[in-house]
């Protein structure tokens, strides 16, 4: 059997991660081939102490800890790099119990039967209606804007073979949008459906609306330049429209002489153009900001503490 690393990003999960690891230990028989890497993403609630304890208790548990909160993408990247260094396949799951270890076990079983990319697709029955609608709108809009295929419900809970892990690890970009990167790798060869546990306490997401919005913008801008193109086209269309308007007005003036009305139109035109310009600048700014980020070439995370790499 091949080696598998289960990567679990943890941000303030002191209370919930032990239960996940306990259940993993009962679910996964062949633990001598499976390692669990817990990544502490700069938690402030004593998660690191819990991870140290888990490492003491279970020989298959390793951990590493960031100097501060770098975000889930950075934590996953640390896991990808770690698995890649060991030439292992990788399974990513959440620390908060929303990703059932029983499903992880099924995914590992399919991997052992030869699958190279297994995805767990969640139902959204447990989520509030507004969040479900938000998810649908976000996926719809992203799917249209981004030139990669995104599937609602297919997130980071997935297993990737050693080769795919190496490919991911070799993607040097700093502004990461993993859902897009996975899709870039190619479609999964197996999809396992699951419903997250209907536990109210689990519903609390650590993603605020703001961070979700940021993440969506990352998703669009890190995958293509379509928004830039869209702006160019809108600019052209507005330009043509305003020339037509000018011609229309000139004809009107030639026929009827100068009249005073048009105040509303002018104000509308000015504000509309102003807003278009601001949007354009904003989108350009997004890309320039990203270029700046890549050019600076800073690492995506900084590790403060980790179990010895054998
Ligand atoms: N997480 C992280 N860094 C962060 C935010 C979240 O490592 O800055 C981890 C978190 O501990 C959890 C996973 O990412 O294991 C998913 O987070 P959460 O449950 O808040 O998100 P959701 O369930 O809404 O996808
Ligand atoms: Mg969660």
Which tens digit of pLDDT belongs to each residue from 140-161?
877 777 777 788 888 999 999 9
pLDDT tens-digit readout, 218-247:
887 887 777 888 888 888 888 888 888 888
- Kindly state if the Cβ of 205 falls inside 6 Å of ligand 1: yes
pLDDT tens-digit readout, 90-138:
999 999 989 999 999 999 999 999 999 999 998 877 677 887 888 888 7
Residue with CA nearest ligand 1 atom 20: 206
The full length of the chain comes to 310
- Kindly state if the Cβ of 73 falls inside 6 Å of ligand 1: no
Distance 187 CA to ligand 2 centre (A): 24
pLDDT of residue 24 exceeding 90, the answer is yes
Residue with CA nearest ligand 1 atom 24: 205
**pTM across the whole model:** 0.83
For residue 69, the ligand 1 atom closest to its alpha carbon is 8
């Amino acid at each position: 059997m091949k080696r598998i690393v289960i990567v679990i990003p943890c941000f303030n999960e002191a209370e919930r991660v032990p239960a996940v690891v306990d259940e993993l230990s009962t679910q996964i028989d062949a633990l001598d081939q499976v390692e669990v890497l817990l990544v502490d993403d700069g938690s402030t609630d004593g998660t690191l102490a819990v991870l140290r304890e888990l490492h003491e208790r279970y020989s298959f548990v390793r951990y590493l800890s960031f100097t501060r909160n770098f975000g889930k993408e950075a934590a996953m990247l640390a896991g990808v790099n770690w698995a890649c260094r060991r030439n292992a396949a990788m399974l990513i799951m959440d620390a908060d119990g929303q990703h059932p270890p029983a499903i992880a076990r099924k995914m590992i079983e399919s991997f052992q039967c030869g699958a190279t990319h297994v995805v767990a697709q969640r139902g959204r029955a447990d989520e509030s209606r507004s969040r479900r609608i938000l998810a649908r709108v976000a996926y719809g809009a992203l799917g249209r804007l981004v030139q990669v295929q995104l599937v609602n419900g297919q997130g980071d809970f997935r297993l990737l073979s050693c080769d795919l892990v190496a490919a991911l690890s070799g993607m040097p970009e700093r502004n990461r949008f993993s859902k897009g990167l996975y899709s870039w790798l190619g479609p999964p060869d197996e999809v396992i459906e699951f419903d997250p546990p209907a536990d109210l306490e689990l519903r609390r997401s650590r993603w605020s609306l703001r961070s979700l919005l940021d993440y969506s913008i990352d998703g669009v801008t890190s995958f293509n330049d379509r928004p830039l193109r869209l702006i160019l086209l809108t600019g052209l269309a507005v330009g043509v429209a305003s020339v037509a308007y000018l011609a229309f007005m000139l004809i009107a003036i030639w026929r009827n002489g100068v009249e005073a009305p048009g105040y509303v139109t002018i104000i509308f035109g000015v504000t509309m153009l102003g807003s278009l310009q601001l949007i354009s600048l904003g989108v350009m700014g997004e890309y320039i900001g990203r270029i700046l980020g890549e050019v600076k070439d800073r690492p995506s995370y900084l590790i403060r503490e980790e179990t010895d790499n054998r």
